[in-house]
Structure 1
Amino acid sequence: MINSTPAARPAPAAPTVKPLDTRKPSTTLRRRFWRSRRAVFGLSFLILISAIALLAPLIAPYDAGDQDPSRAQLPPLSTSESGTYHLLGTDALGRDLLSRMMYGGR
């Protein structure tokens, strides 16, 4: 025997409404920034360069304007005749390039 009553249908679901995002745009931006590895690396690099430039008088191995013709045109990672070590070498006037770059950032 066939039942003539229609099958029970589920009630239609009420439309779902997403709650409004009540966060400030600055909070969202800050959260996105700290999740980005590139952004965090870039900020860290800028902080490092700024710290080196500001602390140049304290951490530079030589005075930026100190000239010594006997140390002229030394290649990177070299030692002069007087035994001084130059990480980035020297220029035509014998000035240490690493120290000049540190002071130049100021």
Structure 2
Amino acid sequence: VPLSAKSILYHAVKDFGSEFILNHDWSFCWKLFSVSADPIRGYNWRWPYVDIFFYDQNETHIWDIAPQYTNNFVYLKNTVFPLKRRPFMDLLLLAPFNPRAV
């Protein structure tokens, strides 16, 4: 998710109501899960969950904002965008334009 859309996403997820929990303990990664999901011993989230990572960008590149990945996960925008629908099991999910380059 683009870092510039973080606030928008936060408010959109809040509209899900009390059925879901958004763990946003870290500024660079959030976890979204159902209140009825299974607890994971030793963690503040449940299984299954969705990881939400944020990226920053300039005119030509995007990069993960997580401190441990900022220097390693840097990609040319034209290898990632536009996203393309690709098969995953019986679904068509959005994926990088050129997944081999990513």
Settle same-fold status: TM greater than 0.5.
no
- Give the number of the structure whose residues are more often helix, by fraction: 1
- Structure of higher CA gyration radius: 1
TM-score, length basis structure 2: 0.21
Which structure has more relative contact order (CA 8 Å, sep 6+)? It is: 1
Q: Give the TM-score, by structure 1 length.
A: 0.21
